[in-house]
Amino acid sequence: MCLLNLSVTAEDPAMDLYLPVAHVTLGMGSLLALGLGVGVLSGLFGVGGGFISVPLLMFMGVPPAVAIASQSAQLVGSNLTGYIAYARRGEVDDAMAVVLASGGLIGGMAGALALRVLRHYGWTETAIPLIFIFVIGCVGLLMLFESLRTVIKRGLARRPRVIEPWNFPTRPFRTYFAASHLSISYLVPAGVGFIAGIFVALMGVGGGFFLVPVLIYAFGMAPRLVTGTCFLALLLTSMVSVMLHAVINHAVDPVLALVLLAGSLLGTQMGARLSTALRGEATRLLMALLLIAVAAMLALQLMAPPDDLYALTTP
Amino acid sequence: MMRALLLSLLALLPVTGRAAALDLFVAPREMVLDGTFHGAGLTVFATAGGPGDLVLVLESPAAPALLTQRKKKGVFWITGRRLRLEDAPGYFAVATSLPFAALTPELKERMGFLPLRREAQLAEAQNRAFTVAFLRLKQRERLYAWREMAIGKRPHHAFHAEFHLPSSVPAGRYRLRGFFLKDGVLAATGETGYTVRQGQIGFALSVLVAEYPLLTGFLSIAVMLMTGLAGALLLPRR
């Protein structure tokens, strides 16, 4: 039984796009719409959108490795536009971004190699959805509880919640981040970047959903600096991830990435406009529900008895 | 048009003095995989030196495949046993002008009736279920086909058959082999090639990705950066 069948073939063959790396033909319109949707999410929630596009691409018949690698390539373009916007306003902590990216480089390598191993053993079809279910399910539930608690507490007392940053060790390799007025061990942000790098390379997601809360709540960075810093860190991390996917997995489909990026550039504008109409809690609640819905959809897909006990893939 | 032309050419071919010859012709000569390709038919014509029957075997180059078996673990269906197939062709089709029952096992073996003959591991009993599943999945995708009595006989000991190539056929140089049987005995064999190639952009990209991965990475990043930069200039974020 297949819960979702999104294999799209446009009625007009001229509008179809043959993806030479994925070895599938998909409707150009559906790919642009997917990119547009990803862009809307990016503009609305400030995230990369890979957590939606990678599962949807897999549902459309794109092999998981190609979906992840191509989405990583799309992130290069979308993170650059985001970074430029914030850099123009001077809202980027460049030093912090570089340190995060240095960890992201190692994380990206680990993620790309892990994907290689999963692909070799034919586990991508089940391991990637399971990782998605776990990661985005947990993040979605945490966000849901957090936003619901904020809404309830705001209803009881109209006092803004003050969050104390964590006390991270300052040694070894004590580093002072002037823009953020933060003095911590180099290894702390590098470690955070390492985890984000794994997300980018192994899941094709931006990692913003992880980095943004860590930088705000754990590091105590000024929120105005956080988004731009994440864009720069993830731009560098996704570039490394693309290189690794190209060399290790031979899975980057530039055509797919370009179409997704074209759609997302337009969608980001729409999402940014939509975000002004929504309050912060409502946006977070919506995002949480979306993450939970995607995780639930993937879980149902894995829980449904397969049409055939055997599956044929390209190693 | 092409079919009519080939048929008239076939009628003109001398058929005397060629007791055991087998000539094969295909139309069109090549197929291009691009966005407009949704599968196509391949027409095969053959002429033999006398009355008899024909078996045609069309196969693509080997395309590595990974066959996995799902098993239930807890509430999820996850990947269980797997088998990697290196030598199996991506596309394989057999057509005959006589019933399969008329072919002896030796003949079938000689013709390569099964595409997995080189996979010694598949002969093992424990992998038999995998073999059956592999062939079933390939047939479902219309990438493998066995059709008996699917070759039409024409005047002057000519034959005509159609093969369907679905949209997912792999690119490469295909091999069409013909086996002419006289009174159930192999009398002649013939072979010709057939090309399925990717469109220019698709071909360039697939070569780039497979042969020059480092360059692919650099180019992908460069294209994404340029597009992102253009996006930032044309559609600036507020």
What are the pLDDT digits (tens) for A120-156? 877 887 888 888 889 888 888 888 887 788 777 766 5
User: What pLDDT, in 10s, does the model give residues B190-235?
Assistant: 999 888 887 777 777 777 888 888 998 999 999 999 998 888 888 7
Two structure tokens written together for B188: 């002649």
pLDDT digits (tens, 9 = 90+) for B146-184: 999 999 988 888 999 999 988 788 888 999 999 999 888
Beta strands in chain B (DSSP E): 22-27, 30-33, 40-48, 53-59, 65-73, 76-85, 92-96, 144-147, 151-154, 158-165, 172-182, 185-198
Same domain, B145 and B117: yes
To the nearest 10 degrees (0 to 180), the angle between helices A50-59 and A187-203 is 20
Confidence at residue A170, expressed as pLDDT on a 0 to 100 scale: 65
ipTM for the complex shown: 0.80
A chain contacts of residue B225, beta-carbon cutoff 8 Å: 76-77, 80
Would you list the domain boundaries of chain A?
13-303
- Please indicate whether, in this complex, the C-beta atoms of B213 and A246 are within 8 angstroms of each other: yes
Contacts of A12 (CB under 8 A, 6+ apart): none
Please answer whether residues A150 and A161 qualify as being in contact, where contact means their C-beta atoms are separated by less than 8 angstroms: yes
Do residues B47 and B162 share a domain? yes
Same domain, B141 and B231: no
**pLDDT at position A5, please?**
39
Nearest to B220 among A122, A252, A314 (CB): A252
Residues in chain A predicted with pLDDT less than 50, given as ranges, are 1-11
Are B117 and B103 in the same domain?
yes
Per-residue confidence (pLDDT) for residue B58, from 0 to 100: 92
Describe the strand order of the beta sheet including B144-147 as a list of residue ranges. Answer: B30-33, B185-198, B172-182, B53-59, B92-96, B144-147
Q: How confident is the model at residue B123 (pLDDT cuts 50, 70, 90)?
A: low
Residue type, B138: K
A9/B contact by beta carbon, under 8 A: yes
**Domains contained in chain B, number:** 2
Q: Mean of the pLDDT values across residues B127-145?
A: 86
Classify A80 in phi/psi space as left (phi over 0), alpha (psi -120 to 50) or beta.
Answer: alpha
What value does the mean pLDDT of chain B take? 81
d(CA B197, CA B203) in angstroms, rounded, equals 7
Q: Are residues B79 and B106 in the same domain?
A: yes
- Does residue B223 sit in the same domain as residue B173? no
Q: What is the mean pLDDT of residues B105-131?
A: 68
pLDDT of residue A207: 76
- In this structure, the answer to whether residues B89 and B111 fall within a common structural domain is yes
What local confidence, expressed as pLDDT, does residue B160 receive? 92
CA distance B142 to chain A (A): 13
Rounded Cα–Cα distance for residues A24 and A29 (Å): 15
Q: How many CA atoms lie within 13 A of B10 on its CB side?
A: 25
The minimum CA-CA distance between B69 and chain A, rounded to whole Å, is: 4
Of A64, A83, A68, A62, the closest CA to residue A20 belongs to A62
Please answer whether residues A227 and A91 qualify as being in contact, where contact means their C-beta atoms are separated by less than 8 angstroms: yes
What pLDDT, in 10s, does the model give residues B12-40? 444 444 445 889 998 888 888 776 677 88
Chain B contact for A269 (CB, 8 A cutoff): yes
DSSP three-state, residue B95: strand
Range of the domain at B231: 200-238
For residue B111, CA distances in Å to A147, A297, B160, B172, B221 come to: 68, 48, 19, 21, 48
> B228 and B148: one domain?
no
Angle at A144 between CA A143 and CA A150, to 5 degrees: 85
